[in-house]
Structure 1
Amino acid sequence: MRSSRAAWCSAGRPRGAQHKEYREYKAVKAHFRRAMRRCGEQFMTELDHKLEYDSVHDSVSFWWTVNLRKRGSGADIGGGINFDGNMYRSREEITEQWAKYFKDLYTPSSSPDFDSHWEYVVRQEVGGADLTNLRKVRLLHCLKAGESGETSLIITEQLHYRQRC
């Protein structure tokens, strides 16, 4: 696989089935992945047979294998999140990227995927609602502690604590 990838890279990484290097690289890569999948399945089958045998004949080995598999490797393979091709791992970076995502999501766009009809429907429903922070706090003070928002026509899941200024 390494040599076919090197050949593909040296050819300038062409894309498409019309390029010989690309076809060869993809074929070798697919063959490699199939072989890896077969090896993984074979390993799991052998492990199942070993566990069956050990459960009857060697309980110490059985529990050692079970506990080893239960704990896993401890490797944190997915220890981050990918935004726009960049991997972010710290809590602050991830929070910042989610903030950017939602800001972009709720910003009108000239993209052909932007749903202007839905924007119109929401604007008609909401109207010129002016919910300043002071007004929100006053509305929260009107509610009893723990009261569901639906009974007061305020849409919230449930208010456990009232917010004080």
Structure 2
Amino acid sequence: MEPARKRRISPVWEHFDLITPNKVRCLLCSRELGYNNNTSSMLRHYRALYENKEETGASPSHATRKQELDEALVSMIVKDTQPFTVVDDVGFRAFVSKLDPNYVIPTRQALKAMVEAKYELAKEKAKAKMETVVAVSLTSDMWTSINMDASITKASF
């Protein structure tokens, strides 16, 4: 069977399940990715989101630093309602490189997955809070700019 053979060849299959002939699911975040008989997108996804000492050979402090910077980037995107495309901006990339030349900026897709994960955590936290209240008023807004940049504002209560 083809998927079983690929699982033995590439260690990335430890973190993904083949759900259709053209789609895989990350076992860590449940994100679905396209699959075209190679593991490139799976490796990019895994490295961008879960890179650690075993995969990179980096020191524990480097892995921790990357996680801290990734979290700070996600917080900036959320708090300032920045588009995911900011990570592709030449000026932003140059600025980040001056701050920390060793930091690998996540791709737009990886950044989106990180924001989605942060959203899921915030949603669970909000659900827990709402279980203890009598009444709630929520507001949020989602839009797409002229440049097709998707944005969403946080809910307030």
Fold-level similarity (TM above 0.5): no
Higher helix share: 1
Return the TM-score normalized by structure 2. Answer: 0.25
Larger RCO (CA under 8 A, 6+ residues apart): 2
Larger Rg: 1
**Higher share of residues assigned strand:** 2
TM-score by length of 1: 0.24
